[in-house]
């Protein structure tokens, strides 16, 4: 176990950009200089780019998106996106699935998705798609469906 931890620590160190600096540990506590403390000097914290998965089978992609629609980090989007995915994802073709994937994984701030879907903020042109329009209609909830909980997980094979 210890060799794996050391290997992970070394991997993390090798991935840190040079613009990040390592702060020395305070000698009064029990920490050592091997502790990693990251301080970024730029105005914006760089976000990692979401990995593109071009060879992912459609069924597997739909399963991943179904799960990711449920685990957004904020309850509002959990409810909206999980019910949306439960209702529409099974009928999406490969292109529509790719657009939905880009929508929920390409945006770095989930509040943006929420504000665009609810109409509080205008949707940027790159995300103004048929899928976004479908999501906006879903959010309007013209059928008056109670959405207090997420639907059960359904697998698409």
- Residues 139-153 as b or e (16 or more Cβ within 10 Å = b): beeeeeeeeeebeee
pLDDT at 136: 95
Closest Cα partner for 51 from 125, 110, 101?
101
The DSSP secondary-structure symbol of 151 reads P
pLDDT, one tens digit per residue, over 91-147 is 999 999 999 999 998 887 889 999 999 999 999 999 999 999 999 999 998 888 887
Quote the distance between the C-alpha of residue 125 and its chain's center.
Answer: 20
Residue 8 pLDDT level (bands cut at 50, 70, 90): low
Give the pLDDT confidence score for residue 14 in this predicted structure: 61
- Give the per-residue pLDDT at 76: 86
The yes-or-no verdict on residue 53 having pLDDT over 70 is: yes
Q: Are 77 and 115 in contact (CB under 8 A)?
A: no
> What values do phi and psi take at 156, rounded to 5?
-110, 120
């Amino acid at each position: 176990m210890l060799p794996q931890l050391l290997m992970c620590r070394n991997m993390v160190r090798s991935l840190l950009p040079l613009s990040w600096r390592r702060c020395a540990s305070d000698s009064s506590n029990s920490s050592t200089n091997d502790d990693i403390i990251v301080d970024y000097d730029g105005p914006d914290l760089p976000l990692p780019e979401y990995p593109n998965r071009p060879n992912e089978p459609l069924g597997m992609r739909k399963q991943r998106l179904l799960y990711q629609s449920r685990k957004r980090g904020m309850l509002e989007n959990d409810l909206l996106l999980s019910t949306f995915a439960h209702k529409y994802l099974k009928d999406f073709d490969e292109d529509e699935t790719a657009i939905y994937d880009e929508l929920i994984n390409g945006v770095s701030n989930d509040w943006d998705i929420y504000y665009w879907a609810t109409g509080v903020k205008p949707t940027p042109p790159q995300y103004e798609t048929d899928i976004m329009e479908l999501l906006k209609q879903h959010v309007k909830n013209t059928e008056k469906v109670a959405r207090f909980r997420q639907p059960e997980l359904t697998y698409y094979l």
